[in-house]
Structure 1
Amino acid sequence: MSTKESPQALTIEENWARSDQYHNSFLIRPDETLDFALKNSAEHGLPSIAVSTSQGKYLNLLARSIGAKRILEVGTLGGYSTIWLARALPEDGKLITFEIDKTHADVAQANINHAGVSSKVQIILGPATDTLAKVERHPDHPFDLAFIDADKENNLTYFLEAKRLLRKGGVIIVDNVVRRGRVADPEVKDESSEGVRKLLRHLKDDRDVDATTIAWVGEKSYDGFLYALLK
């Protein structure tokens, strides 16, 4: 792409991606390990739906900012976000991540091993709607942070389980809650959008949490995440 090319000569989404890449060039160092995770995932046929580079860095910074020692992740995919989060943990920290697809879990495990964070990460295979319910809340060491990025129709189930397992003052992040503005469009009735709406309706009256939605644009187009703080 020519450096003389004006923003108007690009599509909106190309501008968004270019903006992400520009900022990343100053703020995020090249990382062979993360590149390997994306490449290995693609070579094994996993969909290209992992968080973007800047979103991964955000999750890492968030976990470090709150001093997270135990992290819950719903939706492992190829382990890209898992690696970002695991790197934020101290050596004795723990991340438990839930994945329904065995191929995804196997690829993620290889990527996690390559990243050198396998001692901090446990992948639990199976439907998280079932497996999460079997996790007991540790009275002395509850989870500090949860990242939910799985099938959107079960967002509320995942959120409530995360809420049960987190400490007061813990943070829950739910990804893909804007969906190119489709969630706010009453004419859109797909299961993913409906799953987000169900979660939002619950949060309207949930006095145990404070939450907001942050919309974003970039390499992953136009979407956003929900940030919830447990009181």
Structure 2
Amino acid sequence: MKQINRYIDSVFYKQDEILEEVLVSIKENGMRSISVSPSTGKFLTLLVSISGATNVLEIGALGGYSGICLAKGFGKEGRLTSLELVENYAELASRNLSKAGFGDQVSYMVGPALQNLEHLINTNKRFDFFFIDADKENYENYLNYCIQLAVNGALIVCDNVLARGTVADEHAEPARHTESMKKFNTTVANHPQLESVLIPIGDGLTVSKVKN
């Protein structure tokens, strides 16, 4: 799986100075280097662009790498709302989005995502694209909130669903989130309001279309 992803990145990813600077800033601020892979980021940009989404919700900002990729997909027409638990992570992400030219199009909600999702529902917000890349134990809760916040036909994309390939290899040493991701993938695949597929790029993405 790593070999395949290295090949994909080497062929399809073109060096992006802004994104490379984001990765450096994450390391410099003592944060874990757990941003999406380069090709995953490019795929997010393509999905937002192809879907025509203009109102994107991200759960898990880290240093802003995925946020920039999402914003590149909607250009000057869209808005990104990003939920981030840790305040200094959100501050770094905000600075990086501003450097990338999207500072006026992104807003951050700091604190527990489930509380902020509840607030978004109570204030009747709606979104046409979602990206979930946060604590894995809450993926199913996040998914349910996103479905409530989704317009008909919205896309919900979730990262790390392969748990480093361990969900598909019963002989592999389980990752911390292997069982959570197995359960989540089954839920997504059989959810009556979703049409879904798993894309084996990066650490795996589920891409779901909402049917309200």
Q: CA deviation at 1:47?
A: 0.8
Partner of 2:159 in structure 1? 175
Instruction: Please give the secondary structure, in 2, of the residue aligned with 1:123.
Output: strand
- Does structure 1 conserve the Cα–Cα contact (< 8 Å) formed by 2:90 and 2:110? yes
Q: CA deviation at 1:41?
A: 1.2
Q: CA deviation at 1:203?
A: 3.1
1:178-199 CA distance string (max 9 Å, x none): 1133224568776522332332
AA at the equivalent of 2:11: H
Tell me the distance in 2 between the aligned counterparts of 1:58 and 1:94.
18
Summarize the Cα distance change of 1:138–1:170 in structure 2 as closer, same or farther, 3 Å threshold. farther
AA at the equivalent of 1:151: D
Tell me the distance in 1 between the aligned counterparts of 2:174 and 2:6.
32
Partner of 2:115 in structure 1? 130
Instruction: Please give the secondary structure, in 2, of the residue aligned with 1:136.
Output: helix
Tell me the distance in 2 between the aligned counterparts of 1:66 and 1:128.
25
Tell me the distance in 2 between the aligned counterparts of 1:203 and 1:75.
19
Q: Note if 1:227 corresponds to 2:207.
A: yes
AA at the equivalent of 1:112: L
1:111-152 CA distance string (max 9 Å, x none): 11111101111111011121111103787x731110100011
Q: CA deviation at 1:170?
A: 0.9
Partner of 1:157 in structure 2? 141
Correspondent of 2:183 among 172, 184, 198: 198
Structure number, greater radius of gyration: 1
Partner of 2:8 in structure 1? 20
Tell me the distance in 1 between the aligned counterparts of 2:10 and 2:186.
37
- Does structure 2 conserve the Cα–Cα contact (< 8 Å) formed by 1:173 and 1:225? yes
Mean CA deviation greater in 45-54 or 202-211: 202-211
Partner of 2:19 in structure 1? 34
Q: Note if 1:120 corresponds to 2:105.
A: yes
- Does structure 1 conserve the Cα–Cα contact (< 8 Å) formed by 2:163 and 2:175? no
Tell me the distance in 2 between the aligned counterparts of 1:63 and 1:135.
21
Alignment RMSD, CA only? 2.3
Instruction: Please give the secondary structure, in 2, of the residue aligned with 1:78.
Output: coil
AA at the equivalent of 1:228: S
Correspondent of 1:63 among 39, 48, 51: 48
- Does structure 2 conserve the Cα–Cα contact (< 8 Å) formed by 1:105 and 1:125? yes
Q: Gaps (5+ residues) in structure 1?
A: 1-11
AA at the equivalent of 1:226: T
Q: CA deviation at 1:18?
A: 4.1
Would you say how many aligned residue pairs link Structure 1 and Structure 2? 210
Correspondent of 1:215 among 182, 190, 200: 200
- Does structure 1 conserve the Cα–Cα contact (< 8 Å) formed by 2:198 and 2:206? yes
1:83-128 CA distance string (max 9 Å, x none): 1111222434211011111221121111111111011111110111
TM-score when normalising by structure 2: 0.88
Partner of 1:77 in structure 2? 62
Summarize the Cα distance change of 1:68–1:204 in structure 2 as closer, same or farther, 3 Å threshold. closer
AA at the equivalent of 1:23: V
**Greater relative contact order, per chain length (Cα 8 Å cut-off, separation 6+):** 1
Instruction: Please give the secondary structure, in 2, of the residue aligned with 1:181.
Output: helix
Q: Note if 1:166 corresponds to 2:146.
A: no
